[in-house]
Structures are given as structure tokens and as C-alpha cells.
């Protein structure tokens, strides 16, 4: 999952940069090296899916104004409802929960709850935020057959599995800068494998592995014209599931969007994503070999800015159709999110 969206800087100058352009760029270069160096090393790996075809980074969670940081120090809340329905033909096999399954069909309804703290708007010349995301949801999995279990042991048929579970918590960190209309954001996510993992079962939200994602986003955001052009790229470094002995490969993801504000309250745009696995799955639990995955999706997005009580809030809808998939499910994804401040440190009058 990606770091959550935040209430956008409204252009009043509350967010602002500290110091001059030269100092800001020196700070940006220092922090971006930590993102770009691992990116360069990962992309140089010759470029099918990770265990369960499930990634820490959920494609589609980038999009308009991704690099726009909260305008003030404070505490922010984001609630994103995620619905995904995807399938793969009986000729394709996947490793799910240590089982090799064929003819997979999955429906996932999940709620990603995020609390975000902004301790400073002048950290290395930019805005720093840190938060925790906890996923709660109900995956529903159907498979035509379970071919084999962990380590080659035959298993009985299991055509349906569903459960209400809590996934692994994810720790988010973001650091962003503003220079005129350009916004820059370096971000990271760490998946902590302590969620509810159902051993030998098909329906899970928890990845049950350590994973780290590093991303860089740029937003060309013009409050006057209402246009926003955003791009985001990153790499996810996956660890091993100690129960299934499955060591998932690393993944590269890329997203782009364009959006136009039709009024101060409503905006609409288009968005697309590409995710590609860039290193092999391996270890004794990787029963299908390298199994690199890839998926491409396109869709639309719209946002509504409202006032709830005395607080500004943003509702955003995203909808995607996946056009092509290799060693992953292919389907549709929907996101509905609400972002609002719980507390903001107002400047002195």
C-alpha cells in the first residue's frame, strides 16, 4: 500500500519553503540519493509474481497531488476502502499460502486505516510526516484445485476460502519539498509481519514477510489553473515468508496521472500504473520457479473537497481496469478514500 494522501497545501503560503532555492536543492539531493541508489541497482537486474501475487505497494494508490504535503504540523487521518476483483484461468498456477493453486478467482474488500503525524514543516527544508497504516478486510478466494502444498506434499481440494482478518501494519515516512508549482516527495514504507496470518489457508491480507518500499514522486501542481500532473516511481524489496519458505522477488512500480480542478470543490482526471517484478522468486517454497509478475492498469479519478464541522476534508474515488497481466490476477480495482486533519498547529495571529 502506498503512503496515504494528505490535505493539500491550499497555496496560502502556510506550507512554504524555508530558505532559498539553492539550499532546498542541496537538501533534496542529499535525501533523494537514498531513494535513487537502490532504484538504480534494482532496475539493472534483468527483467514473472511474488507470493500470492500480492504486493506491499498497491498499484493505483499514487495519483494526483501525491507529492503535495500537508500544509501545517499536526495529526491527519486517512481511511481508504479498497475493492479488488480479479481472476486467472485454470491454465495458470499461483503460490498462495504455501499451496500451488489453479483457476484462481479473488475478491478483496479491505479498509486501510492510516494515522499520519507531521512533526515539522522545516526538516531539511521540507515537510516531514510519519504514520502507520493498518489494513482490515475480508479476502474471498476461489480455486478450481489445490495442486500441491508446501514442500511438494499433496493436499486435498479447497475450492473456497474467506475470512475477516487484520493485515500487517505498515510504517510510512514521507519528506516533501515545494518550489513554486513543483512538489517533490521521497517516501518509504516498511511492512511489519505481525498481522493475522492464516497458515496453509488461501484467504489472507497479511504478507507475513518483511518488505520495504522506496518511492519518488513529482507533482506539477498549479492552484491557479487547477491542473495537476503527477508521476511516481519506486522499488519494493521483499523478504522471505518464514512459514512457507517463499522468498519473493523485488518489484518496480510506476504511476502517472493528470487531473483538472473544475471548481474549488471538484476535480477529475485520468490515471494509470505499471508494476513489474525485477528479480526472481526463490527458496524451497518457490514451487513455480522464478515466477516474475507484471500488470498494467488504466482508469479515472475524481476528488471532492468539503468541510466537515470546521475541518477541511477530501473524498477521492479511483477506478481501474487492468489491461494485461503476467503471473498475476487480472481484474478491476476501486478505491474510495477520506482524508481530513484531526489536529493542526495553527500559526500565531
What pLDDT is stored for residue 305 in this prediction? Answer: 95
> Average pLDDT, whole number, for the chain?
81
CATH of domain 64-344: 2.40.128.130
Which of 4-13, 86-95, 280-289, 308-317 is the least confident region? 4-13
Q: Tell me the per-residue pLDDT of 140-151, one tens digit each, with 9 for 90 and over.
A: 988 776 655 555
- Higher-confidence position of 205 and 218: 218
| DSSP assignment of 281-319 | -BSTT-TTTT---EEEEEEEEEEEEEEETTEEEEEEEEE
Q: Distance between CA 176 and CA 185 in Å, rounded?
A: 4
Residue count of the chain, please give it: 349
Of 295, 337, 330, residue with least CA distance to 314: 337
Q: Which residue has the cell 494522501?
A: 5
Residue 78 and residue 1 in contact, taking contact as beta carbons nearer than 8 Å: no
Burial of 130 (0-12, 13-18, 19+ CB in 10 A): middle
For range 9-15, the mean pLDDT: 39
Least confident of 51-60, 247-256, 322-331: 51-60
> What residue ranges do the domains of the chain occupy?
64-344
pTM: predicted TM-score of the whole model, two decimal places: 0.79
**pLDDT at residue 107, rounded to an integer:** 93
| CB-based burial label for 129 (10 Å; 0-12, 13-18, 19+) | buried
Q: What is the SS3 assignment for 151?
A: helix
Answer left, alpha or beta for residue 63, where phi above 0 means left and psi between -120 and 50 means alpha: left
Predicted confidence at residue 334, as pLDDT, reads 97
pLDDT of res. 15: 35
Please give the Cα distance from 278 to 49 (Å, whole number): 10
The mean-pLDDT minimum among 52-61, 89-98, 320-329 falls in 89-98
Tens-digit pLDDT profile for residues 62-104: 999 999 999 999 999 999 999 999 887 655 656 665 566 667 7
- Give the model's pLDDT for residue 161: 85
**Percentage above 70 pLDDT, the chain:** 73
Distance, in Å, from the CA atom of 95 to the CA atom of 101, rounded to the nearest integer, reads: 6
pLDDT one-digit tens code per residue, 245-271:
888 889 999 999 999 999 999 999 999
User: What pLDDT sits at residue 348?
Assistant: 81
pLDDT attached to residue 16 = 35
Amino acid at each position: 500500500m502506498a503512503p496515504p494522501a494528505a490535505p493539500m497545501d491550499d497555496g496560502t503560503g502556510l506550507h512554504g519553503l524555508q530558505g532559498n532555492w539553492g539550499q532546498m536543492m542541496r537538501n533534496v539531493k542529499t535525501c533523494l540519493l537514498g531513494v535513487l541508489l537502490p532504484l538504480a541497482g534494482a532496475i539493472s537486474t534483468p527483467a514473472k509474481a511474488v507470493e500470492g501475487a500480492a504486493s506491499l505497494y498497491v498499484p493505483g494508490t499514487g495519483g494526483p497531488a501525491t507529492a503535495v504535503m500537508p500544509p501545517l504540523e499536526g495529526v491527519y487521518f486517512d481511511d481508504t476502502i479498497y475493492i479488488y476483483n480479479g481472476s486467472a484461468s485454470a491454465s495458470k498456477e499461483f503460490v498462495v499460502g504455501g499451496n500451488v493453486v489453479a483457476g484462481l478467482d479473488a475478491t478483496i474488500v479491505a479498509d486501510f486505516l492510516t494515522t499520519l503525524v507531521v512533526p515539522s514543516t522545516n526538516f531539511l527544508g521540507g515537510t516531514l510526516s510519519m504514520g502507520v497504516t493498518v489494513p482490515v478486510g475480508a479476502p474471498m478466494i476461489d480455486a478450481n484445485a489445490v495442486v500441491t502444498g508446501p514442500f511438494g506434499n499433496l493436499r486435498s481440494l479447497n475450492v473456497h476460502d474467506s475470512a475477516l482478518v487484520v493485515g500487517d501494519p505498515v510504517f510510512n515516512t514521507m519528506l516533501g519539498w515545494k518550489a513554486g508549482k513543483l512538489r517533490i516527495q521521497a517516501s518509504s514504507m516498511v511492512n511489519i509481519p505481525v498481522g493475522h496470518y492464516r497458515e496453509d489457508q488461501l484467504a489472507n491480507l497479511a504478507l507475513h514477510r518483511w518488505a520495504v518500499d522506496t518511492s519518488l514522486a513529482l507533482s506539477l501542481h498549479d492552484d491557479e489553473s487547477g491542473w495537476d500532473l503527477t508521476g511516481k516511481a519506486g522499488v519494493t524489496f521483499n523478504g522471505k515468508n518464514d512459514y512457507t519458505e517463499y522468498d519473493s522477488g523485488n518489484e518496480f512500480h510506476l504511476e502517472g496521472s493528470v487531473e483538472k480542478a473544475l471548481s474549488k470543490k471538484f476535480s477529475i482526471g485520468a490515471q494509470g500504473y505499471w508494476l513489474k517484478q525485477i528479480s526472481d522468486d526463490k527458496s524451497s517454497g518457490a514451487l513455480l520457479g522464478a515466477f516474475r509478475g507484471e500488470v498494467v492498469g488504466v482508469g479515472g479519478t475524481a476528488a471532492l473537497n468539503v468541510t466537515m464541522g470546521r475541518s477541511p476534508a477530501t473524498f477521492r474515488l479511483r477506478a481501474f481496469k487492468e489491461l494485461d497481466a503476467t503471473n498475476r490476477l487480472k481484474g478491476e480495482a476501486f478505491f474510495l478514500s477520506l482524508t481530513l486533519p484531526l489536529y493542526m498547529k495553527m500559526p500565531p495571529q
